[in-house]
Structure formats: C-alpha cells, structure tokens
Amino acid sequence: MGIDYSQLRDPNAEYTMRELSAETMGITRERGGDRDLEITDVQTTMVDGNFPWTLVRVYTDAGIVGTGEAYWGAGAPELIKRMAPFLRGENPLDIDRLTEHLVQKMSGEGSIGGVTVTAISGIEIALHDLAGKVLDVPAYQLLGGKYRDEIRVYCDCHTEEEADPIACADEAERVVDDLGYDALKFDLDVPSGHEKDRANRHLREPEIEHKASIVEAVTDRVGSRADVAFDCHWTFSGGSAKRLARRLEEYDVWWLEDPVPPENHDVQREISHQTSTPIAAGENVYRTHGQRRLIEEQAVDIIAPDMPKVGGMRETQKIADLADLYYMPVAMHNVASPIATMGGVHVAASISNSLALEYHSYELGWWEDLVEEDVIEDGYIEVPEEPGLGVTLDMDAVAERMVDGEELFDET
C-alpha cells in the first residue's frame, strides 16, 4: 500500500497566519442560481505521451467536473493529492482565492517555484474548466473576453538528422507545405562534431558556424512563408551566446530561445542588449515574480512562460499584462496534451500581446485522440465557444495511453 499524501502533516500549513479557506475567511453567504456547489475530490491520471502528462480532475457535489493538466513529470500527482484536503468543501468558482490558498498552504513545500507551482497550475486550469461549465461560458470569458477568434500555433520540428542543415530545411519545407504551419521552431543545441568539452558551455567558432548553417538553410528554404525560431535549451555560456546571437543577425530569425541557463537574469539581459537577434526566455522561471525582472529590465525581447508550469491561466495572464507595459509579446512555451494546450488557447485569446502558442507533438499520431474534438487545423486553433476549456476527454483513449501502473480517474 502506497503513501497517503493527503495525510502528510505540515506544521506550516496547520499554523499559517494567512489561511484563506472559506471557513477562516467567513465566506458563508449563499450564492444565486446554481453557483452554490462544493468540491468533493481532486484526482490525477498520468498519460504516457511524448511527455508524461499529468491530467487533473476536480469533482463537485453538483456532478460537474473540471479537467486540467499540470506540466509533465514526477511529483505533481503526489503534490496534488497532498492539496486535495485543502480544496474539499470549497466553492470552485473562487479560482483566485483557492489558488492563493494553495500557495499559502504549500509554502513550506516550495510554492515559490518548481513542481509545487506546476501542481497548483494543473488544479487552477481544472477550476477554469469547471467554472466555465457552471456559468455556461468559455474559459476566455472568465479571463475578460477575447482579442481573436483563432490562435496561431508554432510547430516544434525535429528530424532524425537534427544536426544536418539540409535535413532540417527539408523538414521545415514539409511542415509548411504538407502540414500547413506558417510558424516553426528548430533546435540549435545539437552536436556539430566540433565539440571539445560539453561541460564548459563554450562554443568554438566551428560550432557557431555549424549552427549558423542550420539557421541559413532553414530560413532560406521557407523564406517568407513561415517564421522560424531556434531553441538553445539553456546550453551556452554568456560569451558564447553573445557571439552566436550576433552571428545570426544576418538571418531572418523569429527568435533565439534560452541561449543561457535560466537562473542568472543579469547574463540574460546582457545578451539581449548586445544583439539585434530577438531573444526569448521564460519557460524555466515561475509565477509573475519569477518573470518580473526579465520583463522590467527588458532582458528578453519575447517572454515565453509555460502556462501549466508557471502558475496557471490567470498567472500567465498577469505575466502578459506586465509584459504589455513594456510592449513585449508573449509566445507561450507548451509541451502539453490537448487539455493544457486548449487552456493556453483561452489565455492567448484573452491577452492583446499573444504572438503564438507552441505545439510539440506533431510526430505523435494520437495526440488529438485524447479529446473528442478536432484541435489544430492548418497551423491554427479556433477558440472554442463551448463552456470551460471546450474539449472533452476521451476516457477510452486516456485509459489506453496511461503510464504503466497508473489508475484512471473516476468518470463524471
């Protein structure tokens, strides 16, 4: 028998002076219509996709269920089970208060950043789906309305010969011509054959020239038919990143993503300020506080939070609003299933400065099978008008694709 994470004792949670539960806050007034309901349970199921996606469901005594998703990986299911008692008996429509309630209750277990924030994100997305269903409105309406009817998607592209410029260019052409995307991304942290020491983050000149050859081949091949970004996955030193960014200035680069590790914003700022190549980052920092310096110091040209990782839908909207004060666009990082992807669609619809939303599963033939609806068409996602997130889990498909040893959560 496994550990019952919901029963773990935490003195910080028991004695916090900022207890935001409805009972402590004295929130007892009856609500009109069908808005008096309570959370009865929170469950998770992990699906074995190209990432191990953690799907989340919030259940109510009204029989209405909300579905969300936490950023992939270990730890989130256990933390969500840990938080379930803090939500039972609460009204799920109080999304902001409940999210902050979880942040406060989980402060001793790391709610400033990391997997604790991603676990809260998954619950928060499920609450938006649930609230939309209760109020009979799409989730974007809960966020203030929409700026656009469809969301541009950029396709994260891969090839078996990822270090071959011609192979990358061939794949870019295929994705544009055959799959209909007009926005792409390729990896630049690929072996060049010129490496001497992978640990020191230094790029030798032949390595930089190899990366430039990939950028040149891809951008020349697609021309004006598609925007192309390039990802470095936090790999290089500050000096090497500057040299690489400057070398790429002659090409039509949409953005260069995460050229240096995410911890030191001073280095990130220095790179952005010394090149005309647009720089993007943000997927590896948490909540608005984590993104604040990147935005306020204009340490990036494009901010790239990962919605089911950074704190959820409202938190991502707050980040976008802060970025908009600096006239900075938002390109949401996204490696999720259709559930969190659609959550990202509603956020992108609700903010003025949305640039594009990532799609990282084009090689996975069954990605859309997890939901009953069609999702992406010709590189765009239509903003749903159905209540909540606007997608319905196919429980048979989820059951078929679960991680070994996982259990399917309850039906509605």
- Tens of pLDDT along 384-406? 999 999 999 999 999 999 999 99
pLDDT-derived band at 4, boundaries 50, 70, 90? confident
DSSP 202: P
* Count of residues in the chain: 412
pLDDT-derived band at 31, boundaries 50, 70, 90? very high
Q: Give the per-residue pLDDT at 412.
A: 77
CATH annotation of 5-137: 3.30.390.10
pLDDT of 14 strictly over 90? no
Q: Give the per-residue pLDDT at 1.
A: 56
> What is the residue whose two structure tokens read 């997927």?
283
Q: Which superfamily does CATH assign the domain made up of 143-386 to?
A: Enolase-like C-terminal domain (3.20.20.120)
Contact 246, 277 (CB under 8 A): yes
Parts of the chain belonging to CATH 3.20.20.120: 143-386
Q: What is the mean pLDDT of residues 41-55?
A: 97
pLDDT of 15 strictly over 70? no
Q: Give the per-residue pLDDT at 71.
A: 97
Q: Where are the beta strands (DSSP E) in 182-305?
A: 183-187, 227-231, 256-257, 279-281, 302-303
Q: Where are the beta strands (DSSP E) in 49-126?
A: 52-60, 65-70
Give the mean pLDDT of the chain.
96
Q: Give the per-residue pLDDT at 12.
A: 67
Q: Give the per-residue pLDDT at 280.
A: 98
Q: What is the mean pLDDT of residues 188-213?
A: 94
d(CA 181, CA 381): 11
Q: Give the per-residue pLDDT at 5.
A: 85
pLDDT of 273 strictly over 60? yes
Q: Give the per-residue pLDDT at 276.
A: 98
Contact 38, 64 (CB under 8 A): no
Parts of the chain belonging to CATH 3.30.390.10: 5-137
Computed on alpha carbons and rounded to an integer, the radius of gyration of the chain in Å comes to 22
Contact 368, 153 (CB under 8 A): no
Q: Give the per-residue pLDDT at 9.
A: 79
- Residue 117 CB partners (closer than 8 Å, separation 6+): 110, 111, 286, 287, 309, 310, 311
- Work out the percent of the chain whose per-residue pLDDT is above 70: 98
pLDDT of 16 strictly over 80? no
Q: What is the mean pLDDT of residues 259-273?
A: 97
d(CA 365, CA 197): 37
pLDDT of 2 strictly over 80? no
pLDDT of 10 strictly over 80? no
268 CB-contact burial (10 Å; exposed 0-12 / middle 13-18 / buried 19+): buried
Encode pLDDT of 91-106 as tens digits. 999 999 999 999 999 9
DSSP 278: -
The alpha carbon of residue 172 and the mean position of all alpha carbons in its chain are separated, in whole angstroms, by 23
Determine which of 81-85, 119-123, 196-200, 204-208 has the lowest per-residue pLDDT on average: 196-200
pLDDT of 39 strictly over 90? yes
Mapping DSSP to helix (H, G, I), strand (E, B) and coil, where does residue 92 land? Answer: coil
Q: Give the per-residue pLDDT at 13.
A: 64
pLDDT of 262 strictly over 90? yes
Q: What is the mean pLDDT of residues 34-43?
A: 97
